[in-house]
Amino acid sequence: MTAPATENSANCFVLSSNSLLAHLAPLEAVLFDVDGTLCDSDPLHHQAFQVMLQEIGYNNGVPITEDFFIQNIAGKHNDDIAKFLFPDDFERGLKFTDEKEAMFRKLASEQLTPIKGLLKLTKWIEDHGLKRAAVTNAPRENAELMIAKLGLTNFFQALIIGGECEHAKPHPAPYLKGLEALKVSKDHTFICEDSVSGIRAGVAAGMPVIGLTTRNPPHLLMEAKPALLIQDYEDPKLWEALQELEKMGLSA
């Protein structure tokens, strides 16, 4: 019997966690965002933006806050960030974001750590023979560095870069390209995401999205309509849903 729907704090109705993924059986694949989903990288991005914007006197030299970063930068493609930060000089904005990414890579190479429980989930995925892809708005150089630092280079069977698609997130194109690369159905795939932009992209692509409250406020994430919010990959709500999926016959 399907468990009843429950009302969450954002006044949205979602299925209780133990029935969340059951309709996906037989499960074929899991798609992951990278920044904030595989690793808690947003503080490093915030630090890089904060230092570099202060150096050029942005906001009269006052450092940008975490709230500013979350509202205007986190999860967005660099083209959109460049337009927002430098509305009158897009080319300068693109040069700035390129330099910021170089600073981020230096920080990430020294400080990057996985989201709690990530390796437990990736082992579960491997043990069940599921396909998997990383789908990100990050530049390819960033994504490859983060995935390598986390020891997941051989885990992912495809890496989809939003900037290399016709449209980046929040457009569904990157996630649809991920399905195509793995040759799987949206009806048998779920997504892990941490940003409003990414959740919107996954929902628009027709898949349930498990949202992580890594750094973004739950009430903002709920506006994008994730199927479930979890704190990290050790959250009991996630494993209740996966166990129910196993009962329904996880794989073909």
Beta strands in the chain (DSSP E): 5-7, 13-15, 29-32, 131-136, 158-161, 189-193, 209-212, 228-230
On the 0-12 / 13-18 / 19+ scale of CB atoms within 10 A, 179 is buried
User: For the chain, how many helices (H) and strands (E)?
Assistant: 10, 8
Distance CA 106, CA 89 (A): 26
CB neighbourhood size of 29 (10 A) = 25
Both tokens of 1, joined, read 């019997």
Distance CA 193, CA 214 (A): 10
The residue annotated as part of the active site, out of 35, 42, 80, 235, is 35
33 is catalytic: yes
Distance CA 203, CA 222 (A): 12
35 is catalytic: yes
The residue annotated as part of the active site, out of 33, 42, 194, 235, is 33
Distance CA 62, CA 85 (A): 14
> 183 — phi, psi (to 5°)?
60, 50
By annotation, the residues acting in catalysis are 33, 35
